[in-house]
């Protein structure tokens, strides 16, 4: 195996494999360099660092008056609450999970969802990301929380993981499936999941009823260097890989309040309008799909 040794600091990943493709090298670099305030300031609220979006109604009573000197702080806390609610809803769909189970977070980012899964179920959680910086960040947080023996991130391609065949109780992709071929992705989840295990994704996908990816969807792809798939592609690739949908939940209406609130904040990144327009013109959907491995 080719790769490089990382030696900078105690949390550094011991071994970073060479990227499986030039594209994966680009994505590893993208997330190694990412430090947007909208992600770090929200994570600082309670130490759960997410790279996904929010769902649910805005609590206007908690936000208070826009003229209030504490308003921006409250707005950040509210956006973070909505992002954590999103992860809670994903975890709600994992089915029964025991302390002895192992879960896999494919494309784990800085590890917020992994920590939440461990705190809810007491289980072991293994995460993979292309970014050594993210893996180090997630492992440092797990260490600070005293759960490093149960929650671990590593630098690894989610299409070729080191996990044993048929031993994972449940696995998920939280806004990370738009970076890979879906047939390759679901073949790997299907391999590692136990029969009867559960797979869950929350994702943005283009709506086949619209026809083709809209200009807003193309703008989101360019912004994140990703490749948003259609709803049809998800369902077909799952069916081809022994993943049978048990629930398909359209979260589009539930995510719009998050985007509309975020668009008013000082932490805007410039992609807010594309998401709002794409969701509103029907070309784009925010979906949760939970599937049984049969």
The site for ligand SAM (CB under 6 A) is made up of: 24, 27, 31, 50-52, 107-109, 112-113, 128-131, 134, 157-159, 174-176, 179-180
Q: Which of 20, 21, 26, 36 binds ligand GPP (CB under 6 A)?
A: 36
Among 26-34, 38-46, 131-139, 270-278, the segment contacting Mg ion (CB under 5 A) = 38-46
* Alpha carbon 16 to chain centroid, angstroms: 21
Q: Which of 16, 27, 39, 155 binds ligand GPP (CB under 6 A)?
A: 39
Please return the burial class of 143, using the count of CB atoms within 10 Å of its CB with bins 0-12, 13-18 and 19+: middle
Q: Does 86 bind Mg ion (CB under 5 A)?
A: no
Residue 129 interacts, among Mg ion, ligand GPP, ligand SAM, none and using kind-specific CB cut-offs from 5 to 8 Å, with ligand SAM
**Which of 176, 160, 153 has its CA nearest to residue 12?**
153
* Alpha carbon 150 to chain centroid, angstroms: 19
Q: Does 190 bind ligand GPP (CB under 6 A)?
A: no
Cβ atoms of 110 and 177 closer than 8 Å = no
Backbone angles phi, psi at 19, to 5 degrees: -60, 145
Residue 265 interacts, among ligand GPP, Mg ion, ligand SAM, none and using kind-specific CB cut-offs from 5 to 8 Å, with none
Cα separation, 52 vs 203, in Å, equals 9
Q: Does 78 bind ligand GPP (CB under 6 A)?
A: no
Q: Which of 13, 41, 52, 55 binds ligand GPP (CB under 6 A)?
A: 52
Backbone angles phi, psi at 232, to 5 degrees: -60, -40
Place of tokens 């048990």: 246
Residue 201 interacts, among ligand SAM, ligand GPP, Mg ion, none and using kind-specific CB cut-offs from 5 to 8 Å, with none
Cα separation, 225 vs 130, in Å, equals 14
Nearest distance from C-beta of residue 177 to ligand SAM, angstroms? 8
Cβ atoms of 255 and 152 closer than 8 Å = no
What is the binding site for Mg ion (CB under 5 A)? 39
What is the binding site for ligand GPP (CB under 6 A)? 36, 38-39, 51-52, 175, 178, 204, 220, 224, 226, 228, 269, 271
């Amino acid at each position: 195996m080719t790769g490089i040794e990382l030696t900078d600091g105690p949390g550094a990943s011991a071994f970073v494999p060479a990227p499986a493709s030039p594209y994966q090298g680009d994505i590893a670099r993208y997330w190694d360099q990412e430090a947007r305030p909208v992600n770090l300031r929200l994570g600082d609220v309670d130490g759960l660092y997410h790279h996904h979006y929010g769902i649910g109604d805005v609590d206007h009573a908690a936000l208070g008056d826009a003229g209030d000197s504490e308003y921006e702080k409250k707005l950040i806390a509210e956006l973070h609450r909505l992002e954590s609610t999103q992860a809670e809803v994903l975890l709600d769909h994992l089915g029964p999970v025991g302390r002895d189970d192992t879960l896999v977070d494919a494309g784990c980012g800085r590890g917020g969802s992994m920590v939440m899964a461990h705190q809810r179920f007491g289980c072991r959680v293994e995460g993979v990301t292309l970014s050594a910086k993210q893996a180090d960040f997630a492992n440092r947080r797990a260490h600070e929380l005293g759960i490093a023996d149960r929650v671990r991130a590593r630098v690894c391609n989610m299409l070729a993981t080191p996990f044993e065949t048929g031993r994972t109780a449940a696995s998920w992709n939280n806004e990370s499936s738009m970076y890979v071929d879906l047939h390759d992705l679901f073949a790997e989840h299907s391999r590692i999941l136990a029969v009867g295990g559960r797979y869950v994704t929350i994702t943005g996908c283009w709506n086949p009823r619209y026809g083709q990816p809209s200009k807003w969807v193309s703008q989101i792809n360019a912004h994140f260097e990703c490749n948003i798939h259609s709803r049809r592609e998800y369902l077909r690739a799952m069916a081809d890989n022994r993943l049978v949908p048990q629930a398909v939940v359209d979260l589009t209406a539930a995510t719009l309040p998050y985007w509309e609130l975020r668009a008013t904040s000082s932490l805007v990144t410039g992609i807010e309008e594309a998401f709002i327009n794409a969701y509103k013109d029907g070309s784009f959907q925010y979906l949760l799909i939970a599937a049984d491995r049969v």
